[in-house]
Amino acid sequence: MKKVFSTLAAAAAAALLLGGGATAQDKIKIGYAVSKTGPNAPGAGITTIPNYQLWIHDINEAGGIKLGETVVPIEVIEYDDQSNTEELVRAVERLVNQDEVDILLTPWGTGMNLAVGPTFNKYGYPQMAATAATDRAYEMGERWPNSFWMLGTSTMGAKSLAEVLTKLHDAGKINEKVAMVSVADAFGIELAAAARPVLDEAGFELVMDESYPITTQDFSQLISSAKDSGADTFVAFSYPPDTFGLTGAAIAGEYNPAAFYTAVGTAFPIYKDQLFHDNVDGVLGIGGVNTDDPKFQDYRKRHVAVTGQEPDRWASPVTYASLEVLQQAIERVGKIDREAIIKEIQTGTFDTVIGEVKLDRNVNTNVWWAGQWQNGDFHGLAPAGMEGAKEPVAPKPAWKPAG
């Protein structure tokens, strides 16, 4: 009898873990591990953490999350993954097995989301990968049906960049030569791999194609090589510390290509407000927003009011939208039944700060991929079919001396 009881108890515990818990509960536990320290901290501190804070604030203002006819308060448990994938997996295991959270939020970055994907999948938690860009997104959606890839694919990014550069080339603003560098992390490796055939098909020639370690701090040699390459276009598939370092090195080295593109971090408000001030006009980068969209304007106002800082002009609104999708799915299901919540996210249509979200095989395709600093803000350029898209401007004005 004791053995039968133990088996039933174990089965019940497994059902609670994998399927999602009781229909009536007095609180919802939400847990996450994110990079508060280490090389990923600048990105997480601009994009992920503030939007988690805003979402949690909004839930608390409403008294909780609605489950059926009851509004249930939340409890939040968070850990620092230290920008280390092993620490991230350990922290998520702790959240599931020790803290017994009902909902997991995702880490910052492509590599981190890929690393923790098997853990989310093993325990059956929805994974709203809001800061991961990979050409494996559709493959991951099939392998891990609980995973949702909110930034789309690397090829989408490469095609949007090529779309912008083609416009500039056809207008006689740039030549066909491109100098490209990329961070040797999952993000940079994937974007560079996607860009090579796309740029070639668009008629561009890669006269420089180099990668650099994620720990690189001195970018002067890369910038010098790009300056000597004869390319009118510089492209860096970079993470925030290197985006800032490459821009600073370009200014110091008086490297003034007609088109200067850096990736993650370019759309961060601190890129202009704290780092490069009057030097940002004309800089191209990953991401963008429709700054005239009333939904973005309202979101921006609330973000500043709650977090004390501006949202970035790319993955910040996408991150908040991913949380809106998650919450709407939970409330439609009416209980913490993770299997049903995952099914709702797979099939539902959601109203968010980035507009209507309807996932295509677990992948969001409603994403800006190329933008530019124009008149003091970072605007979306491509895909050009998106509402509010601006036209690219070149040549970029020459850098003003630092200081």
pLDDT digits (tens, 9 = 90+) for 42-95: 999 999 999 999 999 999 999 999 999 999 999 999 999 999 999 999 999 999
- Domain positions in the chain: 2-153+293-357, 154-291+368-382
pLDDT at 6 over 70: no
Is 90 exceeded by the pLDDT of residue 2? no
**pLDDT band (50, 70, 90) for residue 186:** confident
Phi-psi label, residue 393: left if phi above 0, alpha if psi -120 to 50, beta otherwise: beta
pTM beyond 0.85: the answer is: yes
pLDDT reported for residue 295: 96
Assigned token pair, 131: 């800061």
Which residue(s) pair with 77 in the sheet?
A: 31
**Choice between 147 and 16, residue whose per-residue pLDDT is larger:** 147
Contacts of 122 (CB under 8 A, 6+ apart): none
Q: Kind and range of the H or E element at 28? A: strand 28-34
322 backbone dihedrals φ, ψ, rounded to 5°: -65, -35
Integer CA distances (angstroms), 139 to 127, 148, 149, 226, 266, in order: 15, 11, 11, 35, 29
Q: Per-residue pLDDT tens for 224-238?
A: 999 999 999 999 999
Q: Would you state the structure tokens that stand for residue 10, as one six-digit string?
A: 């174990």
With a pLDDT cut of 70, the percent of the chain lying above it is: 94
Task: Answer whether 2-153+293-357 and 154-291+368-382 agree in fold.
Answer: yes
Confidence of residue 274 (pLDDT cuts 50, 70, 90): confident
Residue 178 near residue 235 (C-beta atoms within 8 A): yes
pLDDT digits (tens, 9 = 90+) for 7-55: 333 333 444 444 444 346 899 999 999 999 999 999 999 999 999 999 9
Q: Which residue spans within 126-278 are E strands per DSSP?
A: 127-129, 147-149, 177-183, 205-212, 233-237, 259-262
Strand partners, 373: 378
What is the Cα–Cα distance from 177 to 200, expressed in whole angstroms? 10
**One CATH from 3.30.70.580, 3.30.70.20, 3.40.50.2300, 3.30.70.60 for 154-291+368-382:** 3.40.50.2300
**Interatomic CA distance for residues 357 and 140, integer angstroms:** 19
Q: Please identify which residue in the block is written with the tokens 């308060």.
A: 73
Q: How far apart are CA 403 and CA 400, in angstroms?
A: 9
The domain 2-153+293-357 having CATH identifier 3.30.1330.20: the answer here is no
Mean pLDDT of 109-116: 95
DSSP state of 363: B
**HEC string of 313-336?**
CCHHHHHHHHHHHHHHHHHHHCCC
CA angle, residues 189, 193, 199, in degrees to nearest 5: 135
Distance CA 390, CA 78 (A): 39
**Residue 294 exposed, middle or buried by CB count within 10 Å (0-12, 13-18, 19+):** exposed
